[in-house]
Structure 1
Amino acid sequence: KPKIAHLLLADGTEKQIKASELKIGDIISIKSGEHTPSDAIITYGGAEFDESAINGESLPRYKSVGENIFGGSTNINGTILAKIAKNPKESLLEGIISSLQQSASKKLNIARLADKISNIFVPSVIVVSLLTLIIWSFFDINRAVICAISVLVISCPCALGLATPIAIVCALSKGSKSGILIKNPAIIELIKGAKIVAFDKTGTLTKGSLSVSATSLNDDDLRLAGFLSKASSHPISKAISKYVGTSKGAKGIKELAGLGIEYEENGVLMLLGSIKLLQNHGVVLNESQKEQILAQNAALALLAVGGEYRGFIALSDEIKEGAKELISKLKAKGLKCVMLSGDNEKNAGQISRELRLDEYYAGLLPNEKVELLRGFGGSVVFVGDGINDALAMKEAMIGVAISNSSDISKDASDIIIIKDDIKALYELFSLGQKALKIIKQNLFWAFCYNALCIPLAAGVFGGAGVFLTPAIAAFAMSSSSVIVVLNSLRLLR
């Protein structure tokens, strides 16, 4: 968020003021490279805006007179005038931050069954020990004392108390070694209830940056496209320049917001951009060329030289390695996989079909993602990376931030996947299942041990000549705790 804004005065001059002092109705100018101080409506000009802080999409959007721009978005090129539509403290970005602060304390660690039982267990064992002393004292006072002490010694609330936390500690350690940082230990128990895994698109399922996917240009024309792109800071230009590997760029290119690049040399006009840019300069495409362009389901940069169409470069946001495999494995576990994206319907639909997702939703703002998650119910794991995903992470049962996430998303999440491998998400579900299995085994052992050993120490089987000494009871008690710990350590294998 910018700290200053350029206020347009009645006489047409500009005055630099604090962004926090802006009022609804004020007219401001936003130049190339500057950030928008608050939600506003464009009143003059047009420019491309990077709205990744709001919708997570890396490709800028061209906006002109009458269209809304969000506080926190960046003007990529051009100069515009805009009328402030919301007080800076009430902008969409501020709303995200405010909602995040309010929801920060909603998730609490779940109460553990073993903790509740332990609260009852200790006084109950003391009562059993006293009853054992009283009953056996009618027959043999020495036996009464030995049995009462043995009951106190053999009972093991430690095994009950350790059953869950020691397994969770081992699960946290195993997770960190696998590149999974678990911030909220309660999710180890919660993950068993997950039914839906919801993903953000850009930067989560896809790489989040454009790359050249196809081109119809020959080598010479491709080098020319790289030459024209080198001097531009537009994401499409950067992707082309990187693909071609150009070291030298054209001087004096003219960038047209939302259209592309113009460059003239020795009387020859060169164009690189949208089909509208070519049409504006009278470049005619035949039907075959138009069909070829329409068949490319990607962002396009068209090249024309001297009024002649040369070909296209198609760019797309590539799917991350391992994403298809992850979706396939999650669906095999019976989990429903959906995508919640701020991108347009066309791009979101294409990615959804390639990954074979169960459902997808496009063009979503942060609050709309939250509403959808509420509609899904409370058994959702949400995976994202951007500022715009932070609210959804807090709303979901479990929020997962991936390695390249924004700081706000990492703070809002329960889990951070540290390594740059989205397949680690599957390891998280496997780890959760294994940890729960170990916890159940530990609890079963602790219950069975106490249910069998306390009556044994109390002399219930004394009629058959079976009695325990305090020394044997102490060994049994220690062994019980050791067994629980050793069983939990199996998670580290």
Structure 2
Amino acid sequence: MKNIKLFINGMHCVNCANSIKQAALKQGALTANVDFINKFGEFSVDDDFDSEKLIFAIKKLGFEVSLDKIKAKNTYEGTRLVFLAIFSVLTFIDFSFFTSCLIASFAILLSYDFYKRVIFHKSYGMDLLVVLGISINYFYSFFSIHHHFFFESTFVCFVIRLGKFIENKAKAKANSLIAPNEIPNITLASSKILKANEISINDELIIKNGEEILVDGICLNDALINESVISGESVSLIKKAGDFIYAGSINDGEVLRMRASCEYYESSLEKLKDEAMKASNKELKAFKMVDKISRYFVLIICIIASITGIAWYFIDSSKVFFYVSSVLLISCPCALGLAIPMVIAICINLCFKEKIILKNPELISSIKDIECFIFDKTGTLTNDIQAIKHDLSYDDFRLIASIENLQNHPIAKSITNNFNDFLALNGKSYLQDNVLHYEDESVKVRIEPLENDLMCYKNDGFIGKITLENELNKNAKELIEFLKSLGKRIIIISGDSKNKVVDLAKKLNIDEYYYRVSPVQKAEIISQLGVSSVFVGDGANDIKALRKANFGISFSKANAIAKNKADALLLENDLIKIKKLFEIFDKSYSKIKQNLFISFFYNFFGIALACGIFSEINLHLNPALCAMLMSISSLIVVFNSLLLFKELKS
């Protein structure tokens, strides 16, 4: 099985995404997830699947498709809006039938894309409702004796396109940090300036002081680099010629010369952004329900419009087309479809701004209901780099440090910190019951934790011990106090010694803790708790626990598999970011509920008015007003979502 990622332009609502999903599944895709806000789709397919078939099927629906990010084209949307506004004013003035008909015809020609998507690409979402509403008013005007509806047809074209224009600008704002509209420039060693996405592997680049490094690469001269975006470390690091540097880092020193080792979209920073973007493609449980409603929305509206037409045929046949077109034009699946995805996009954006990669948006609605927070100790509640003391000879410490250098664990990093005289080892190392073993043809080593020490053995003989000091992680105490104030149950599960775990638990005022626990036992303890839980950890020995908990939180510096299994990644080793998650998720979930209420209430009350149910008390809507309200409903949802930026900033 393989995954295909496609960038898709031309989607404007959930029904567009649904039509692409259905087309992909018909072509043989195993799964299909399409994000109409971020304009991409991910498809799981068999290894022998022909991606060209899928691309052709999506293009046939009227969308632009590419394996690479699509540059925005100048569609002259602003010019078209100006002409439609002028045509609306002209048809509002009481000209002759022929003049009004001609102007309205020009307006419909400028809106040919609605008809094209419905007739040729079978887009039966909002486009179908718009086309039916415009056409009914336009053609009915030829038969109406007392009044023609050319203004209504023209104004519908204008107001819906204006609404979509504003909505698209707002969507771009929602993703402004993760997916900026403008690709930045970069300077080659030859002084030629290119767009970053035009850089090739092995190109030599110049990065001035204070500039961001846009692609991964190799230093060609000594430099001072701030890698906080990737590593979370805010201290600038000295890089030597030949050292690797990450995209997203900042040059804090003199002019840096570097050689690109990848293309722009393959850089480490872009991959982090992709992780964030993928999260918006995952569906909340609530969205699945909304998605089902959206799929049948147009059919339901067409049935309601038909019933309205039949009813008014017997009540007052002269008003049939008036009310039928009103129902079609006021109904808006877009507001409903935007209610959740728009908030998720903004939430992911805000998390990224706080240096958090949200990989599973289900956390947004679930984090409040989590009963228990479980923490690993070393590198999570304590600093990953700890001070050490040892009584080993230089040669023995060099051997132990070389073995630990093969590991990706905070204890290993503490031992190897500030040591660089490593041996070239070719044996095998493995972890068994929290004891690290190493074997090759000449030596057998065992590193065994005991209370506050690591006991070191070579060929079954004791050679000395290494003592590590517990240092609390930044803001660990504040986070624990915050979680306790919410009534959350706090547990420490560690493979470390009893004394170290008890000492840490006392410092943080935590009553529940487990020590000397193996990776398998960690997962078993979480299963036996029988409550919804979040596990926070960063080591290879935390992978099973991250899988077993309802949700996992890890760090960007963590083991690669642990990062993959986590639902959220903290780019900085600062636990207070978990408190920030609560704040962002609380506001986001409130916005989702508000948007759903607005969408459902608007459609229910708007359709009731458009049907003419309240016509007896002279309360009804004309088609032009219905078209305006249709666009306004989507804009209300969009701008209500955008208030998240302001609310969280304040």
Give yes or no for TM over 0.5: yes
Q: 2:617 aligns with which of 444, 448, 464?
A: 464
Residue correspondence of structure 1 range 413-428 to structure 2 within 5 A? 413-428=566-581
Does residue 115 of structure 1 match 2:291? yes
CA contact (8 A) 2:385 2:417 kept: no
Tell me: CA distance 1:401–1:135, structure 2 relative to 1, closer, same or farther (3 Å): same
* Residue of structure 2 equivalent to 1:172: 348
TM-score by length of 1: 0.58
Does residue 198 of structure 1 match 2:374? yes
TM-score by length of 2: 0.45
Residue correspondence of structure 1 range 51-450 to structure 2 within 5 A? 110=285, 112=287, 113-211=289-387, 232-233=397-398, 315-377=468-530, 379-450=532-603
What is the SS of the residue equivalent to 2:379? coil
* Residue of structure 1 equivalent to 2:645: 492
CA contact (8 A) 1:200 1:383 kept: yes
Q: 1:454 aligns with which of 607, 610, 635?
A: 607
Displacement, 1:492?
2.4
CA contact (8 A) 2:554 2:568 kept: yes
* Residue of structure 1 equivalent to 2:103: none
Structure 1 residues 164-220: Cα deviation after superposition (integer angstroms, max 9, x where no partner): 11111110110011011011222222323211111111011111333269xxxxxxx
Cα distance in structure 2, aligned partners of 1:465 and 1:109: 42
What is the SS of the residue equivalent to 2:385? strand
CA contact (8 A) 1:136 1:144 kept: yes
- Runs of 5+ unmatched residues, structure 2: 1-281, 402-410, 420-450, 456-465
Displacement, 1:418?
0.8
Displacement, 1:484?
0.6
Displacement, 1:376?
2.1
Cα distance in structure 1, aligned partners of 2:500 and 2:624: 72
Cα distance in structure 2, aligned partners of 1:166 and 1:469: 30
Displacement, 1:314?
7.6
Q: Tell me which amino acid in the other structure corresponds to 2:509.
A: R
What is the SS of the residue equivalent to 1:334? coil
Displacement, 1:339?
0.9
Structure 1 residues 295-336: Cα deviation after superposition (integer angstroms, max 9, x where no partner): xx95599xxxxxxxxxxx985121111000111111112211
Aligned length: 315
CA contact (8 A) 2:365 2:589 kept: yes
Q: 1:481 aligns with which of 620, 623, 634?
A: 634
Cα distance in structure 2, aligned partners of 1:241 and 1:408: 22
In our comparison, the structure showing a higher alpha carbon Rg is 1
What is the SS of the residue equivalent to 1:327? helix
Tell me: CA distance 1:156–1:366, structure 2 relative to 1, closer, same or farther (3 Å): same
Q: Which has the higher contact order (CA 8 A, sep 6+)?
A: 1
CA contact (8 A) 2:371 2:531 kept: no
CA RMSD of aligned residues (A): 3.2
What is the SS of the residue equivalent to 2:384? strand
Cα distance in structure 2, aligned partners of 1:378 and 1:108: 23
Cα distance in structure 2, aligned partners of 1:239 and 1:139: 84
Cα distance in structure 2, aligned partners of 1:240 and 1:459: 78
Tell me: CA distance 1:147–1:388, structure 2 relative to 1, closer, same or farther (3 Å): same
Cα distance in structure 2, aligned partners of 1:468 and 1:432: 38
CA contact (8 A) 2:372 2:531 kept: no
Which has more helix, going by share of residues?
A: 2
Which has more strand, going by share of residues?
A: 1
Cα distance in structure 1, aligned partners of 2:539 and 2:300: 52
Tell me: CA distance 1:242–1:155, structure 2 relative to 1, closer, same or farther (3 Å): closer
Displacement, 1:344?
1.6
Cα distance in structure 1, aligned partners of 2:416 and 2:543: 33
Question: 4+ residue runs of structure 1 moved beyond 6 angstroms?
Answer: 225-231, 238-243
